[in-house]
Amino acid sequence: MKRLFTCLIMIILIILLSAITGCSVDKDHSTRGNEPMDLHNKELSDIEDKIKTSSFSSTLPTSYNISVNISLKQEEMDRIIYEVTVDEAKQMMKDVTLSAHLDPDMALKLKTSNVFFTNIFDIDTYPDRFLLKPGGEIKGVQLFRGFILDPQALDQSFVDLYETVYVKVSWKSSDHTLHTEYFKIKGTSNEEITEYIQEKAN
Protein backbone atom coordinates (compact mmCIF):
# COMPACT_ATOMS: atom_id res chain seq x y z
CA MET A 1 0.00 0.00 0.00
CA LYS A 2 2.82 2.31 0.92
CA ARG A 3 4.58 1.49 -2.35
CA LEU A 4 1.39 2.23 -4.32
CA PHE A 5 1.02 5.56 -2.55
CA THR A 6 4.65 6.46 -3.34
CA CYS A 7 4.15 5.58 -7.01
CA LEU A 8 1.05 7.77 -7.22
CA ILE A 9 2.94 10.69 -5.72
CA MET A 10 5.76 10.25 -8.25
CA ILE A 11 3.33 10.11 -11.18
CA ILE A 12 1.60 13.29 -10.02
CA LEU A 13 4.95 15.09 -9.65
CA ILE A 14 6.03 14.02 -13.15
CA ILE A 15 2.75 15.26 -14.67
CA LEU A 16 3.04 18.60 -12.87
CA LEU A 17 6.66 19.04 -13.92
CA SER A 18 5.85 18.26 -17.55
CA ALA A 19 2.97 20.74 -17.54
CA ILE A 20 5.10 23.53 -16.07
CA THR A 21 7.99 22.89 -18.46
CA GLY A 22 5.67 22.72 -21.45
CA CYS A 23 4.08 26.07 -20.63
CA SER A 24 7.46 27.72 -20.24
CA VAL A 25 8.72 26.47 -23.60
CA ASP A 26 5.58 27.51 -25.43
CA LYS A 27 5.71 30.97 -23.91
CA ASP A 28 9.35 31.41 -24.86
CA HIS A 29 8.75 30.34 -28.46
CA SER A 30 5.78 32.67 -28.72
CA THR A 31 7.78 35.65 -27.50
CA ARG A 32 10.74 35.03 -29.79
CA GLY A 33 8.47 34.30 -32.72
CA ASN A 34 6.87 37.74 -32.46
CA GLU A 35 10.12 39.71 -32.21
CA PRO A 36 10.82 40.08 -35.99
CA MET A 37 7.27 41.16 -36.76
CA ASP A 38 7.24 43.57 -33.80
CA LEU A 39 10.47 45.11 -35.09
CA HIS A 40 9.06 45.36 -38.61
CA ASN A 41 5.83 46.97 -37.40
CA LYS A 42 7.70 49.43 -35.20
CA GLU A 43 9.88 50.53 -38.11
CA LEU A 44 6.88 50.79 -40.43
CA SER A 45 4.85 52.81 -37.90
CA ASP A 46 7.73 55.21 -37.37
CA ILE A 47 8.19 55.97 -41.04
CA GLU A 48 4.42 56.24 -41.65
CA ASP A 49 4.06 58.69 -38.75
CA LYS A 50 6.90 60.80 -40.12
CA ILE A 51 5.25 60.86 -43.57
CA LYS A 52 1.98 62.09 -42.04
CA THR A 53 3.77 64.89 -40.18
CA SER A 54 6.00 65.84 -43.14
CA SER A 55 9.12 65.17 -41.07
CA PHE A 56 11.34 64.22 -44.01
CA SER A 57 14.07 66.56 -45.21
CA SER A 58 14.68 67.31 -48.88
CA THR A 59 18.21 68.46 -48.04
CA LEU A 60 20.63 65.58 -48.50
CA PRO A 61 23.34 64.80 -45.91
CA THR A 62 26.93 66.02 -46.12
CA SER A 63 28.57 63.24 -44.07
CA TYR A 64 27.60 60.52 -46.57
CA ASN A 65 25.90 60.10 -49.93
CA ILE A 66 22.39 58.71 -50.38
CA SER A 67 20.69 57.89 -53.67
CA VAL A 68 17.65 56.07 -55.06
CA ASN A 69 17.80 54.42 -58.48
CA ILE A 70 14.75 53.04 -60.26
CA SER A 71 14.87 50.42 -63.01
CA LEU A 72 12.78 47.85 -64.85
CA LYS A 73 13.00 44.06 -64.69
CA GLN A 74 11.03 42.13 -67.30
CA GLU A 75 10.40 38.43 -66.73
CA GLU A 76 7.06 36.62 -66.49
CA MET A 77 5.76 39.74 -64.76
CA ASP A 78 7.17 43.22 -65.26
CA ARG A 79 8.63 44.72 -62.09
CA ILE A 80 9.78 48.17 -61.06
CA ILE A 81 12.96 47.93 -58.96
CA TYR A 82 13.92 50.44 -56.26
CA GLU A 83 17.54 50.53 -55.09
CA VAL A 84 18.49 52.73 -52.13
CA THR A 85 22.23 53.23 -51.58
CA VAL A 86 24.22 54.88 -48.80
CA ASP A 87 27.94 55.26 -49.60
CA GLU A 88 30.91 57.66 -49.52
CA ALA A 89 30.86 57.81 -45.72
CA LYS A 90 33.06 60.56 -44.30
CA GLN A 91 32.92 59.08 -40.79
CA MET A 92 32.47 55.71 -39.08
CA MET A 93 28.92 54.39 -39.57
CA LYS A 94 28.13 51.11 -37.81
CA ASP A 95 24.97 49.01 -38.23
CA VAL A 96 23.65 51.14 -41.09
CA THR A 97 19.92 50.51 -41.21
CA LEU A 98 17.82 51.59 -44.20
CA SER A 99 14.03 51.67 -44.36
CA ALA A 100 12.13 53.06 -47.32
CA HIS A 101 8.52 53.81 -48.20
CA LEU A 102 7.04 54.93 -51.50
CA ASP A 103 4.34 57.58 -51.66
CA PRO A 104 1.39 55.97 -49.79
CA ASP A 105 -0.86 56.31 -52.86
CA MET A 106 1.50 54.00 -54.77
CA ALA A 107 -0.04 51.08 -52.86
CA LEU A 108 -3.04 51.53 -55.16
CA LYS A 109 -0.84 51.61 -58.26
CA LEU A 110 1.22 48.44 -57.73
CA LYS A 111 0.31 44.80 -57.21
CA THR A 112 1.31 44.72 -53.56
CA SER A 113 -0.17 44.96 -50.07
CA ASN A 114 2.39 47.57 -48.97
CA VAL A 115 5.13 49.84 -50.34
CA PHE A 116 7.58 49.57 -47.42
CA PHE A 117 10.96 47.82 -47.36
CA THR A 118 13.81 47.60 -44.85
CA ASN A 119 17.08 45.80 -44.05
CA ILE A 120 16.53 45.64 -40.26
CA PHE A 121 16.42 41.82 -40.34
CA ASP A 122 19.88 41.56 -41.95
CA ILE A 123 21.96 43.56 -39.46
CA ASP A 124 22.40 40.77 -36.89
CA THR A 125 23.04 38.12 -39.54
CA TYR A 126 25.65 40.01 -41.57
CA PRO A 127 26.96 42.83 -39.32
CA ASP A 128 30.17 43.34 -41.34
CA ARG A 129 28.15 44.28 -44.42
CA PHE A 130 26.64 47.30 -42.68
CA LEU A 131 29.83 49.01 -41.50
CA LEU A 132 30.92 52.05 -43.50
CA LYS A 133 34.01 54.17 -42.96
CA PRO A 134 36.39 56.26 -45.07
CA GLY A 135 38.60 53.90 -47.06
CA GLY A 136 36.72 50.89 -45.69
CA GLU A 137 36.31 47.56 -47.46
CA ILE A 138 32.52 47.94 -47.71
CA LYS A 139 31.85 50.76 -50.16
CA GLY A 140 28.11 51.09 -49.59
CA VAL A 141 24.96 49.70 -48.02
CA GLN A 142 22.08 48.95 -50.38
CA LEU A 143 18.39 48.18 -50.01
CA PHE A 144 16.32 46.71 -52.84
CA ARG A 145 12.70 45.90 -53.52
CA GLY A 146 10.85 45.01 -56.70
CA PHE A 147 7.11 45.62 -57.20
CA ILE A 148 4.91 43.97 -59.82
CA LEU A 149 3.59 46.59 -62.22
CA ASP A 150 -0.10 46.84 -63.04
CA PRO A 151 -0.38 48.07 -66.67
CA GLN A 152 -3.90 49.36 -65.99
CA ALA A 153 -2.57 51.66 -63.25
CA LEU A 154 0.16 53.32 -65.31
CA ASP A 155 -1.45 56.73 -65.74
CA GLN A 156 -0.39 60.31 -65.17
CA SER A 157 -0.84 60.07 -61.41
CA PHE A 158 1.57 57.12 -61.40
CA VAL A 159 4.09 59.24 -63.29
CA ASP A 160 3.70 62.02 -60.72
CA LEU A 161 4.17 59.69 -57.72
CA TYR A 162 6.51 56.82 -58.48
CA GLU A 163 9.84 58.62 -58.10
CA THR A 164 9.09 59.91 -54.60
CA VAL A 165 10.79 57.75 -51.95
CA TYR A 166 10.91 58.35 -48.19
CA VAL A 167 14.08 56.96 -46.61
CA LYS A 168 15.04 56.52 -42.97
CA VAL A 169 18.77 56.10 -42.26
CA SER A 170 20.02 54.94 -38.85
CA TRP A 171 23.56 54.18 -37.73
CA LYS A 172 25.92 54.22 -34.74
CA SER A 173 29.00 56.42 -34.67
CA SER A 174 32.37 55.32 -33.27
CA ASP A 175 31.29 56.32 -29.74
CA HIS A 176 28.14 54.13 -30.12
CA THR A 177 25.78 57.13 -30.35
CA LEU A 178 22.67 56.29 -32.40
CA HIS A 179 21.90 58.68 -35.26
CA THR A 180 18.66 58.72 -37.28
CA GLU A 181 17.82 60.89 -40.27
CA TYR A 182 14.80 61.06 -42.58
CA PHE A 183 14.92 62.10 -46.24
CA LYS A 184 12.38 62.63 -49.00
CA ILE A 185 14.20 61.75 -52.20
CA LYS A 186 13.32 62.01 -55.88
CA GLY A 187 14.58 58.78 -57.38
CA THR A 188 16.57 58.59 -60.60
CA SER A 189 14.86 56.47 -63.26
CA ASN A 190 16.93 54.80 -65.94
CA GLU A 191 15.99 55.10 -69.60
CA GLU A 192 14.34 51.69 -69.79
CA ILE A 193 11.80 52.26 -66.99
CA THR A 194 11.14 55.82 -68.17
CA GLU A 195 10.26 54.70 -71.69
CA TYR A 196 8.20 51.77 -70.38
CA ILE A 197 6.05 53.99 -68.15
CA GLN A 198 5.62 56.70 -70.77
CA GLU A 199 4.51 54.14 -73.37
CA LYS A 200 1.98 52.52 -71.00
CA ALA A 201 0.71 55.81 -69.57
CA ASN A 202 -0.13 57.32 -72.98
Mind listing the domains of the chain with CATH numbers? 65-201 (2.60.40)
pLDDT digits (tens), the chain, 202 positions: 545 445 445 544 444 433 333 332 333 333 334 566 788 899 999 999 999 999 999 999 999 999 999 999 998 899 999 999 999 999 999 999 999 999 999 999 999 999 999 999 887 777 788 999 999 989 999 999 999 999 999 999 999 999 999 999 999 999 999 999 999 999 999 999 999 999 988 7
Q: What whole-number distance in Å separates Cα of residue 147 and Cα of residue 78? A: 8
Q: Do the bridges between strand 188-189 and strand 65-74 make them parallel or antiparallel, or are there none, so unpaired?
A: parallel
H or E stretch at 195: helix 191-201
Q: Are residues 60 and 181 in contact, defined by beta-carbon separation less than 8 angstroms?
A: no
The model carries a pTM of 0.81
The predicted pLDDT at position 25 comes to 31
Closest CA to 84 of 95, 99, 74: 99
Residue 109, classed as helix, strand or coil, is coil
The predicted pLDDT at position 97 comes to 96
The predicted pLDDT at position 10 comes to 52
Q: What whole-number distance in Å separates Cα of residue 35 and Cα of residue 195? A: 42
